[in-house]
Amino acid sequence: MDRVKVGIIFGGATEEHPVSVKSAREVAKHLDFGKYEPVWIGITKTGAWRLCDGPAEGWEDDSRPAVLSPDGLLVLDDGQYKSIGLDVVFPVLHGRLGEDGAVQGLLELAGVPYVGCDVQSSALCMDKSLAYLVVESAGIATPSFWTLMPGEDADPGQFLYPVFVKPARSGSSFGVTKVSGPEELAGAVEAARRYDSKVLIEEAVVGSEIGCSILGNEEELIAGELDRVALTHGFFKIHQESNPESGSENSTFIVPADIPDEARTLVRETGKAIYRALGCRGLARVDMFLKEDGTVALNEVNTMPGLTSYSRYPRMMAAAGLPLGEVIDRMIALALTGKSR
């Protein structure tokens, strides 16, 4: 039986490049090479697409130029481009140009099935302000929030502090600041605008941050065990730490989440409702706040959550009896059967 040829895209020309490479390395460790023939496509920090042997150190130096087209992956070889057919693509990309619908649109144009959310849901989930509006319209709570469009300034006197200031369309907590008073607001907005011209200001919700990993489409959804992010100080930003593999500087992850069974059911069902309302397919991690009064509000949705050795999504799935290798199998199967779109 022929192996399924899987194009695995990783890297990217954004701040999340290192996280993507780490995720791709975990995929390489857990991919069943008896079933799949990987075609590794790395995107350098400058945005060049390269065919390589995998995401090991130095992959940029031992690689060839490549470009995706409706004829397959075109690879430059001895001055000529030759085509490599792909059965499916797994875009192991995080943040801008990876989770925002850009790569998904390219794959749609190329006519290649792909793992994960489609163009519309990827773009929607990436923009936190738009995701909040859709989720609110579905009757699900979100934090109170304000948006600043390019060139707009905020009146520091209009907010009750603390608030969080963040890029509207970024990930892994890049550009996020917890603002304790009005004198800190302008600097926080400036920091957020290094990553996105559109800025979100939102209330600081009092409660526990609970994650829900989801796999599947429409009514057939699998939710992993929930986790709780326990913070000693600050806010969760493990992907920006110097050595996250050895543990976070300010957070630990409790899996299964140490919350009452009634709350567990509410969080899981709310996570699935958010996933469906935003049109998610394939997989996503839905992060929510479990408030002190027992109610639940959306925090954010990650349509291609981290798959690193320290990431939350694979840990939650493994706790539910689904190791990463099996999760990868299911994601690829969803894409190949066309159920992911």
The Cα 53–Cα 40 span in angstroms is 6
Helix, strand, or coil (residue 134): helix
Judge contact between 224 and 320, C-beta under 8 A: yes
pLDDT at 340: 39
Helix, strand, or coil (residue 152): coil
Domains of the chain in start order, with CATH, are: 4-114 (3.40.50.20), 123-141+206-336 (3.30.470.20), 145-203 (3.30.1490.20)
The Cα 78–Cα 65 span in angstroms is 11
Q: Which residues of 315-329 are buried (b: 16+ CB within 10 A; e: fewer)?
A: bbbbbbebebeebbb
The Cα 5–Cα 84 span in angstroms is 9
Using the Cα atoms of residue 132, residue 136, residue 138 and residue 139 in order, give the sign of their dihedral: positive
Judge contact between 214 and 163, C-beta under 8 A: no
Distances (CA, A) of 132 to 16, 84, 141: 23, 41, 8
* Residue with the two structure tokens 């959804």: 221
Residue range 283-319, pLDDT digits in tens: 999 999 999 999 999 999 999 999 999 999 999 999 9
Judge contact between 270 and 232, C-beta under 8 A: no
The torsion of the CA quartet 165, 236, 302, 51, rounded to 10 degrees, works out to 110
Of the candidates 192, 196, 200, the one whose C-alpha atom is nearest the C-alpha of residue 130 is 200
Residues serving a catalytic function are 19, 22, 94, 239, 245, 285, 306, 310
The Cα 134–Cα 120 span in angstroms is 13
> Strand pairing of 72-77 and 80-84?
antiparallel
Residue 10's beta-bridge partner residues? 42
Average confidence (pLDDT) per 10 residues, the chain, 341 residues: 93 94 98 97 96 95 92 88 95 95 96 96 96 97 95 92 94 87 95 94 95 93 96 59 61 92 97 98 97 96 95 97 97 81 38
Query: Tokens standing for 99?
Result: 């989770």
pLDDT at 245: 62
Of the candidates 142, 140, 68, the one whose C-alpha atom is nearest the C-alpha of residue 106 is 68
The Cα 224–Cα 233 span in angstroms is 27
The Cα 89–Cα 112 span in angstroms is 7
Q: Residue 222 phi/psi, 5° resolution?
A: -110, 130
Judge contact between 325 and 30, C-beta under 8 A: yes
pLDDT at 339: 42
> Strand pairing of 4-11 and 88-91?
parallel
Rounded to a whole number, what is the distance in angstroms from the first to the last CA of the chain? Answer: 26
pLDDT at 341: 38
